[in-house]
Structure 1
Amino acid sequence: MQVIKQLKVKFVYSMIFIEMFVFATILLTLNVTITRRESNETKEFLVFLANNNGHSPRPRLFNDKMIPRQKQNELLMDIDATSSASRERPEDFLHTITDVFRIERTSQANLRNYFSVKVNSDNSIMELIQDFPLNYTNDEINHLVKEIRKSGKKHGSLSGVSFYIRDLRGNQQLICMVNRNSELKTLSKLYTYSTLLYLFSIIVSVLISIPISNYMIRPAEDAFIKQKQFIADASHELKTPIAVIGANIDVLESEIKGNKWLDYIKTENKRMGELVRDLLYLAKNDAGRNELTFCDFDFSNAVENSVLPFEVVAFEAGKTLEFDIEKGLTCNGDEKSLKQIFIILVDNALKNSEEGAHITVRAYAEGQKIIYKVRNTGAGIPKEELEKIFLRFYRSDSSRVRKTGGCGLGLAIARAIATDHDGTLIAESELGEWAEFTLAIPKKR
């Protein structure tokens, strides 16, 4: 069932990643577009101010009737000749002519808090150009001018104020400025709301992805469960005929002495029995039906009891087997299954090493973990196969299949047992030199 869990996790992660990417793209595009548009509009307005000697474009006056150009000029001259009071409150003056004229503003930029200054090369202000009262003091304006001139830029932003510089005659410059604090606050709120929306979308994605993944994976999960159940049932059913064949072979051996054909049948029947046993273990493990008994036991003693019988096997094969087992190691786990790992790794080292090989078994504590290592000299394992050897039925060297026996399930079983104990089993090797397997399990679960 571990495969199904991993598949669900990957499916959820994939959906969340896709949704995060889509939302991020949409919100980022929206924010960048709005920011650039506002910045471009500000720059266009500043350029217009600079080209219009620091003044905003004059409002267009018109009525439903055609007004001669001369009359229009006279009206504009009247507006220019109004008192300063009328200039400060132009709506009072315009109100008097609303029965004849309407005002049309071509851009909302006219509503910005803007002003312009003409400066000399020594930063002294020659003229302050404004179309309405400002919220800046003279000291603040002088400070802005100095900072803008100091930056050396023709266009940019400083302290919430966007500026544009136009060169005039006589080393003079016209600096047009727009207060963008309100726009920046609006953009800041936009970014904040976008971030909150993005975080909310992630939460929603997680909540939606989990049930969807369960729904999408359910057919595969059902098929997987049926497959594992079939393997378990088939393996269980095969145990009986294999046992019967073995019993019949024993009877025939008592009647027919030294028959090589019976020896072949007995060897293959034994191999088939081991294969069925291993398949049954893996099938039960996949289905979560392996019953493990976790308790404290003497890890050092378990290693010695499992490995010592291999001394005779190693001696007969012309190999050296050495032990370096720390005394008094205790572990919380299933002693029977862990002994199976000890046996699998030593047996694997003996089978996959040449005559004269040196095999070392070590067990020691490292922090809160217990380490069990089996190292053998010999041909080693190619780096690209260090993970593949833990796959079921995988054999690094197919020529050894008949020579050493086995069916390539031992390491798969060993890793499954290590995973059941919240541990790890890894392989390391130097091709042509050595190979080493390391089991690391916690002392306490």
Structure 2
Amino acid sequence: MISSLRRKFILIAMASLIGTMAVLCTAIGISNHFITANRVDKAISILHQNGGTFLPPGTHFDPSDFNFQITPETPFETRYFIVELTAQQEIRSVVLDHIAALDRQTVVDTISQIVNTGAKRGYVDHYRFGVFPDEAGGSTVIVLDCFLQLQAANNTLRITVIIFLACVLTVFALLLVLSKRAIRPFVDNLERQRQFVTDASHELKTPLAILSADMGLLEDTYGEDKWLESAKSQITRLDRLIKNLVELARTEETIKEDTVELFSISEIAQASADAFQPLAEADGKTLTSEFPDEISLKGVQGNFFRLFSILLDNAVKYCDPAGNIHLSVSVRGRNIYISASNPCAGVDTAQLSRYFDRFYRADTSRARSTGGYGIGLSTAKAIVTRHKGRISNYYADGVITFTAVIPQMG
């Protein structure tokens, strides 16, 4: 349980970190891309409004209107070409004065790709383009070489990803080292709780034994009496409750290597079904079972005798009159599935998840009449969790089913 708690703590912390970092890195990447594209679009707009040139500062044109700073070097560091198209999308003129790496054929191919996109703005390879219709029905296409801008954006993205991975690995390493210290208060509290239950049970056993002996002496002296019978019944009930609490505390402990053995869970299932068959028949109910002849499992054998006993006892107690109880064991992949189902009218599906809580009883009056304490299913969950499995329940068509999934360890 402690290992499981530590894993969950690390998983939650890492999921929170990765989620936050992913949002941050995505925001940085999108913002950087948007800023790059926006600045290039501003440059394209300036070129279009000024006839294909950047006007120097101090003229009638104010560059600040475009949020684009023009310097004396801007015309020389900006690589672009301009193409005028007719209404039939044919090339009318090409201006290549501001770019040296392209020949006319490459320009024709690039313009053809731009026309095929049908977009007013966008990218073709590392070129950003803007299409501006004219009054004659044609259009002017201004294309900027954005290789350096895109390279800078990609480098920023790479650095962001590297920092992201470095942060994740660093935090993961720190969590592996510090997670034990982080959950230590909870572990200490849990251990104190278990120790308290164990110590209290031992302390209560002696007075209960004395009370039971005294009741026997009083019965021998004064004969049978309803008050004595009531007191003896309550002593027996309290003794059973203490034993159940001790059992629950023990099943929540980590499995020790010397208690693990390989055993046949099929034999345990068969023995449990045989043991509860007369009890079910005495209540006017039927018990059927289904499981392969040989399924082996590595774990604490005694725990699984108790698990089957809890599931079948619960099914017999709360099965509808003349109902059929079904027990099954199967193997799927590397997991063993243990299921117990029985018809049970009036189940509140909203409360199903609480069935495994300590001392929870869906029907208090019915539970008291059958002698339940609300600890059995808690113990079943502790046993399954102890073996790295999970247990769940569901209700459909008037039938409630409890299913435990146990991995076949080593």
Q: TM-score, structure 2 length as denominator?
A: 0.82
Equivalent residue for 2:383?
417
**1: CA distance, partners of 2:81 / 2:139:** 14
Q: Counterparts of 1:275-314 in structure 2 under 5 Å? A: 275-288=241-254, 293-314=259-280
Q: 1:255 to 1:205 in 2, by over 3 A?
A: same
The farther-off stretch of 166-175 and 237-246 is 166-175
Equivalent residue for 2:353?
387
Note the alpha carbon deviations across 1:411-435, whole angstroms, 9 max, x for none.
211222233344444334346x333
Task: Quote the offset at 1:338 in angstroms.
Answer: 1.9
Equivalent residue for 1:73?
none
Task: Quote the offset at 1:284 in angstroms.
Answer: 2.5
- Measured on the aligned residues, the alpha-carbon RMSD in Å equals 3.4
Q: Does 1:114 align with 2:63?
A: no
**2: CA distance, partners of 1:33 / 1:160:** 18
Unpaired runs of 5+ in structure 1? Answer: 62-103
Equivalent residue for 1:50?
48
Task: Quote the offset at 1:332 in angstroms.
Answer: 4.0
8 Å contact from structure 1 (residues 381, 430) kept in 2: no
Equivalent residue for 1:236?
202
Question: Aligned with 1:375: secondary structure?
Answer: strand
8 Å contact from structure 2 (residues 297, 409) kept in 1: yes
Give the letter aligned to residue 198 of structure 1.
Answer: F
Question: Which among 189, 193, 198 is matched to residue 227 of structure 1?
Answer: 193
**2: CA distance, partners of 1:226 / 1:268:** 28
Equivalent residue for 2:152?
186
**2: CA distance, partners of 1:17 / 1:315:** 52
8 Å contact from structure 2 (residues 6, 179) kept in 1: yes
Q: Does 1:272 align with 2:238?
A: yes
Note the alpha carbon deviations across 1:186-243, whole angstroms, 9 max, x for none.
2222222222222222212222344454444333332232222212211222222222
Equivalent residue for 2:401?
436
Question: Aligned with 2:223: secondary structure?
Answer: coil
The farther-off stretch of 146-155 and 48-57 is 146-155
Note the alpha carbon deviations across 1:330-370, whole angstroms, 9 max, x for none.
54443333222232222222222354344344556666655
Q: TM-score, structure 1 length as denominator?
A: 0.76
Q: 1:442 to 1:214 in 2, by over 3 A?
A: closer
Q: 1:230 to 1:201 in 2, by over 3 A?
A: same
Give the letter aligned to residue 38 of structure 2.
Answer: N
Q: 1:227 to 1:329 in 2, by over 3 A?
A: closer
Question: Which among 283, 287, 291 is matched to residue 317 of structure 1?
Answer: 283
**2: CA distance, partners of 1:29 / 1:367:** 42
**2: CA distance, partners of 1:127 / 1:365:** 75
Q: 1:233 to 1:181 in 2, by over 3 A?
A: same
8 Å contact from structure 1 (residues 56, 110) kept in 2: no
Question: Aligned with 1:229: secondary structure?
Answer: helix
**2: CA distance, partners of 1:172 / 1:318:** 92
**2: CA distance, partners of 1:413 / 1:149:** 71
Equivalent residue for 1:31?
29
How many percent identity over aligned positions? 26
Equivalent residue for 1:377?
343
8 Å contact from structure 1 (residues 55, 130) kept in 2: no
**2: CA distance, partners of 1:365 / 1:164:** 63
Q: How many residues align?
A: 400
Task: Quote the offset at 1:119 in angstroms.
Answer: 4.3
Give the letter aligned to residue 317 of structure 1.
Answer: D
Note the alpha carbon deviations across 1:31-90, whole angstroms, 9 max, x for none.
3333222222222222222222223325779xxxxxxxxxxxxxxxxxxxxxxxxxxxxx
Unpaired runs of 5+ in structure 2? Answer: 60-69
Q: 1:149 to 1:401 in 2, by over 3 A?
A: closer
Note the alpha carbon deviations across 1:157-185, whole angstroms, 9 max, x for none.
32322233444565554433221122222
Give the letter aligned to residue 415 of structure 1.
Answer: K
Work out which of the two has the higher radius of gyration on C-alpha atoms and give 1 or 2: 1
Q: 1:436 to 1:34 in 2, by over 3 A?
A: closer
Equivalent residue for 1:85?
none
Equivalent residue for 2:67?
none
Q: Does 1:402 align with 2:400?
A: no
**1: CA distance, partners of 2:243 / 2:372:** 12
Q: 1:192 to 1:219 in 2, by over 3 A?
A: same
Note the alpha carbon deviations across 1:381-414, whole angstroms, 9 max, x for none.
3322333212111111001233111311112112
Note the alpha carbon deviations across 1:17-37, whole angstroms, 9 max, x for none.
443344334433333333222
**1: CA distance, partners of 2:31 / 2:265:** 66
Give the letter aligned to residue 436 of structure 1.
Answer: T
8 Å contact from structure 2 (residues 83, 93) kept in 1: yes
